Amino acid sequence: MFLIIKKPETEKDYEDYYALRWQILRRPWGLPRGSEKDEREETSIHLMAYTEDRIPVGVGRAHFNSKNEAQVRFMAVDPHYQNNGIGSTLLAALERRVKIDGAKYIVLNSRETAIGFYKKNGYSSEGRIFTLFDSIKHIKVRKDL
Ligand SMILES: CC(C)(COP(=O)(O)OP(=O)(O)OC[C@H]1O[C@@H](n2cnc3c(N)ncnc32)[C@H](O)[C@@H]1OP(=O)(O)O)[C@@H](O)C(=O)NCCC(=O)NCCS
């Protein structure tokens, strides 16, 4: 599938970006608009995937926890477009970006349902399981760059 991976730039890009994040990661749990953001948005790396017709279909974010440690959060692909390699392409682009900025490894908290996706992309489980939003089990995973 032909994809465009780029940083959101305009106000409209950011509207689409956060709307997609909310629709996929928050709305199914009845969480309100606004719940899709955290306090690190201003200082994070944001990337978005578009089809060749410029339909926004995927989002992902990375930030630094320390000089060497980057963290990926809010990976989400429109359900109609999942399993087409979009998530992997976005994740690889985030990995390249944080590596350029000095990251030695990436950590992330994977939903239990997405662990297979991260394993396919070279992440290994750190074994720690915890629950967020009262019901979603998460597992900490890591990849050395
Ligand atoms: C997880 C997610 C981002 C993956 O994006 P995607 O574009 O569907 O993934 P890809 O097509 O790049 O998948 C790459 C590989 O991982 C596998 N994979 C994808 N999602 C998977 C899942 N949930 N469980 C197991 N394997 C999965 C694919 O089958 C594919 O394997 P292949 O290379 O052998 O064909 C997407 O399914 C999604 O948005 N899910 C809902 C939200 C979510 O859980 N986000 C993660 C929060 S931590």
pLDDT of residue 130: 74
Nearest CA to ligand 1 atom 43: 76
Per-residue model confidence as pLDDT tens digits over 20-60:
999 999 999 899 999 999 999 999 999 999 999 999 999 99
pLDDT over 90, % of the chain: 89
pLDDT of residue 106: 98
pTM, 2 dp: 0.96
pLDDT of residue 133: 67
Closest CA to 67 of 37, 105, 15: 105
Output the CA 89–ligand 1 centroid distance in Å: 11
Per-residue model confidence as pLDDT tens digits over 55-85:
999 999 999 999 999 999 999 999 999 999 9
Per-residue model confidence as pLDDT tens digits over 93-112:
999 999 999 999 999 999 99
Residue to probe by mutation, ligand 1, list 5, 83, 110, 129, most atoms within 8 Å of CB: 83
Residues framing ligand 1 (Cβ under 6 A): 24-25, 75-77, 82-88, 110-111, 113-114, 116-117, 120
Tell me the pLDDT of the chain averaged across its residues.
95
